[in-house]
Amino acid sequence: MFMGHRVICIGRQFGSGGHEIAVRTAERLGIKVYERELLHLACKYGELSANLMESSDERATNPFLYQGVYEGNYHVIRGLPTSEVLFALQSHEIKRIAKEEDCIFVGRCADFVLRDTDAQLLRVFVSAPDEQRIRRKMEQESLSLSEAKRLVAKMDKQRRKYYEGYTGQLWGDPQNHDLNIDTSVIPIHHAVELIVSRF
C-alpha cells in the first residue's frame, strides 16, 4: 500500500525563527518549503488577483468589516469573505502539493488541513519567550522596542485568531504537535537537526 508523502507542517509564534527553521530544514532535506507561495498558487487556482487577496493571507474574517469575493473562476464560492475564499483555495493547494511531493508547509493551518489525508505528517510548533522575539524583530526590522512589542503582539493575535477560527483547536497546544521547539532553549541549527532526524 502506498504511504503518502512526508510533510512537515510548521506553526510558529511571530519572531520565533520558524521561517528560518523551515528554510534551513528544506535545504538540508532537498525539498521545497511553501509559505508565501501558497497565496499565489491559491490565486492562480481560483483565477483571482493576488493583490485583492494578499491582505487576507493567514487572517481570520472580521465579521464587521470584510470584503466579499465576486471574481475568479468556478473554484470560487461567490460572496464569501476574501479570507474564507483564500483559506479554501489554499487548503486545496496544500492537499494537492502534499499528494505530489515531500515538502514543508509554514502556517496556513496545514497540519489541520492534512489531518484526514494519507500524508505522513510531522507537526512542529516553534515558540520563544516574548523578550527574545521582540529583540529579534528589533534587529531584523530596525524597530524600536515599543514598535517591536506592538508588532509581535499584533501578529501573534492575528495568527491565533486565524488558526483557532478555522480549526477549532488551540493555537500552539503542545498536544497537537509532534515536536515543540523553544528557540530560546534549542538554537535554530539544533532545531533543524532535530526535525531532520525525525523526517
82 assigned to some structural domain: yes
Residue 20 corresponds to which cell in the numbers above? 528560518
pLDDT at 65 over 60: no
| CA–CA distance, 196 with 52 (Å, rounded to integer) | 37
Q: What would the mean pLDDT of 35-55 be, rounded to a whole number?
A: 89
- DSSP 8-class letter at 35: S
Q: Model's pTM, two decimal places?
A: 0.91
| CA–CA distance, 58 with 66 (Å, rounded to integer) | 14
Domain count, the chain: 1
188 assigned to some structural domain: yes
3-state SS, residue 98: helix
163 assigned to some structural domain: yes
Residue 182 corresponds to which cell in the numbers above? 523553544
CA torsion through residues 108, 120, 23, 133, sign: positive
Q: What would the mean pLDDT of 95-112 be, rounded to a whole number?
A: 96
Q: What would the mean pLDDT of 56-61 be, rounded to a whole number?
A: 81
For 92, left (φ over 0), alpha (ψ -120 to 50), or beta?
alpha
| From 3-7, 16-20, 36-40, 51-55, the region with the lowest mean pLDDT | 51-55
pLDDT at 70 over 80: no
1 confidence band (pLDDT: 50, 70, 90) = very low
CA within 13 Å, CB half, 198: 19
CATH number of domain containing 32: 3.40.50.300
| 105-130 residues labelled b (16+ CB within 10 A) or e (exposed) | bbbbbbbbbbeeeebebbbbbbbbee
Residue 117: domain span: 6-198
139 assigned to some structural domain: yes
CA within 13 Å, CB half, 190: 8
Q: What would the mean pLDDT of 183-194 be, rounded to a whole number?
A: 96
Give the residue from 37, 101, 50, 46 showing the smallest Cα distance to 78.
Answer: 46
Mean pLDDT value across the chain? 91
Q: What would the mean pLDDT of 46-69 be, rounded to a whole number?
A: 78
Q: What would the mean pLDDT of 31-46 be, rounded to a whole number?
A: 93
pLDDT at 118 over 70: yes
1 assigned to some structural domain: no
Give the residue from 7, 21, 50, 18 showing the smallest Cα distance to 159.
Answer: 18
pLDDT at 64 over 70: no
Contact 19, 128 (CB under 8 A): no
Chain-centroid distance, C-alpha 118: 20
Q: What would the mean pLDDT of 157-164 be, rounded to a whole number?
A: 95
